[in-house]
Structures are given as C-alpha cells and as structure tokens.
C-alpha cells in the first residue's frame, strides 16, 4: 500500500482539511453553542423574572405591613375612644341613677315625715281625749255626781293646754 511522504504538501488535502475545520466550527456553533446559549438566555430571563417578582412581592408585603400598622394604630385609637365613651356614658348613667335614687329617697322621707307628723297629731288628740275621759270619770267618782260634760271638757282642755305648754318649754 502506498503512503504519503512524511513531509508532503498537497493543495487539495490542505483545502479539505481547511473545510473540515470550517465544517466542524459550523456544526459546533449550530448544534452545541446555539442550543446551550439559547437555554442560558432563557434561564437568565427566568431568573430575572423571579427576581422581579420577588422584589414586587417584597414591596407589596412592606406596603401591607405599613397598611396594617396604620390600621392597628387606628384601631387602638378607636378602642380608646370607645372605652372613653363607654366610661363617660356609664358615669352619666350612674350619676343619673344616683340622682334619681336620691330624689326618690328624699320623697319617701318627706312623706314619712308628713305621716309621722299626722300620726303624732292623731296620737296627741287621742291621748287628749283619753285623758279627758279618764279625768272626767275620776272627777265623777270623786264628786259623786255627774258633771256636765261640756263644762268639764272646757276645764280640762285649759288645764291640758297649760300642761302641754309647760311640757313643751321643759322639753
């Protein structure tokens, strides 16, 4: 079998070799670099998107937090106001109730006092009449005769009034 010389120069062989290298370059470019580069670009895109979404979510979360903080502060204020209002209302209510109770109690007292005065009057009158009766009977017994009731009554009344006055003064 023939062989080339160790150092041989053949234009066509060189040209074929040159084209071989070009062909391999094109093959590598089309079938290795292009697909992988496309995929890398896609990955970059996906990563960028993720980052953008994360930033957006973060911003939203911060906004939400601020929102909630504000709302919480608002709620605190509102609660304070409600409590305050409730306390005020209760105070007013209780004041009114106490006032009503006091008034009622005063009314009862007044009535009781009036009744007591009336009772006393009545009791005084009763006592007077009793005393008159007793003393009339006593006098009748002592004198042995019947007195005229009207006279007697007059005498005893004056007497009793005197006693009453002196009693009043001594009291």
159 is an interface residue for other proteins by CB under 8 A: no
Stretch that binds other proteins, among 7-15, 52-60, 61-69, 128-136 (CB under 8 A): 7-15
Residue 102 near residue 127, CB atoms below 8 Å: no
Residue 152 near residue 139, CB atoms below 8 Å: yes
Stretch that binds other proteins, among 5-13, 67-75, 100-108, 148-156 (CB under 8 A): 5-13
Q: Which of 156, 152, 148 is nearest to 127 (CA)?
A: 156
Stretch that binds other proteins, among 39-47, 124-132, 147-155, 163-171 (CB under 8 A): 39-47
49 is an interface residue for other proteins by CB under 8 A: no
28 is an interface residue for other proteins by CB under 8 A: yes
CA distances for 100 relative to 90, 106, 109, angstroms: 15, 10, 14
State the residue for tokens 């979404």.
Answer: 53
Cβ at position 41, least distance to other proteins in Å: 10
38 contact partners, CB below 8 Å, separation of at least 6: none
Residue among 20, 69, 89, 158 that touches other proteins (CB under 8 A): 20
Residue 160 near residue 128, CB atoms below 8 Å: yes
Applying CB under 8 A, which residues contact other proteins? 1-25, 27-29, 31-33, 35-37, 39-40, 42-43, 46
């Amino acid at each position: 079998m023939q062989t080339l010389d160790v150092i041989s120069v053949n234009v066509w062989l060189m040209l074929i070799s040159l084209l071989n290298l070009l062909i391999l370059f094109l093959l590598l470019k089309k079938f290795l670099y292009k697909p992988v580069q496309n995929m890398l670009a896609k990955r970059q895109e996906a990563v960028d998107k993720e980052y953008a979404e994360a930033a957006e979510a973060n911003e939203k979360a911060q906004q939400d937090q601020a929102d909630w903080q504000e709302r919480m502060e608002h709620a605190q204020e509102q609660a304070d106001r409600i409590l305050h209002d409730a306390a005020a209302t209760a105070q007013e209510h209780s004041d009114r109730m106490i006032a009503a109770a006091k008034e009622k109690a005063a009314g009862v007292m007044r009535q009781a006092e009036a009744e007591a005065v009336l009772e006393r009057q009545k009791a005084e009158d009763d006592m007077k009449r009793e005393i008159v009766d007793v003393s009339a009977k006593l006098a009748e017994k002592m004198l042995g005769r019947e007195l005229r009731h009207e006279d007697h009554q007059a005498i005893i009344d004056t007497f009793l009034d005197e006693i009453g006055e002196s009693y009043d003064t001594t009291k």
